[in-house]
Amino acid sequence: MTTENLIEVKNKAEKAYEAINDMISNYGIEMIDLAYPKHDGEQDAEVISEMMLLRQSVNSLSTACNLLVNKLTDVIGDEEEVK
């Protein structure tokens, strides 16, 4: 492992955060419209499937991030500062 590896993962994490934050902040109504395109209470099965896959991926990312935060905190040794 090198410092460049740390920087690469940090940059990827920042891009993932930006994409997720953008979706949350700017596309809430559009997600509903996409899921219910005819506004008749009927879901678009393909869209819902993709949303379920996205939810699974983001949940996995959340778990991985928590594990990495814990590992970095152990290595850095600043548990008191993080709490």
Tens-binned pLDDT, residue by residue, of the chain (83 aa): 999 999 999 999 999 999 999 999 999 889 999 999 999 999 999 999 999 999 999 999 999 999 999 999 999 998 776 66
**Which amino acid belongs to residue 35?**
A
Give the per-residue pLDDT at 47.
98
Work out the angle at residue 22's Cα, subtended by the Cα atoms of residues 17 and 24, and round it to the nearest 5 degrees. Answer: 95
Look up residue 8 and give its amino acid: E
> What is the rounded distance in angstroms from the CA atom of residue 21 to the CA atom of residue 3?
27
Q: What is the pLDDT of residue 49?
A: 98
pLDDT of residue 28: 87
Instruction: Output the pLDDT for position 35.
Output: 97
Per-residue pLDDT, 33? 95
Beta strands in the chain (DSSP E): none
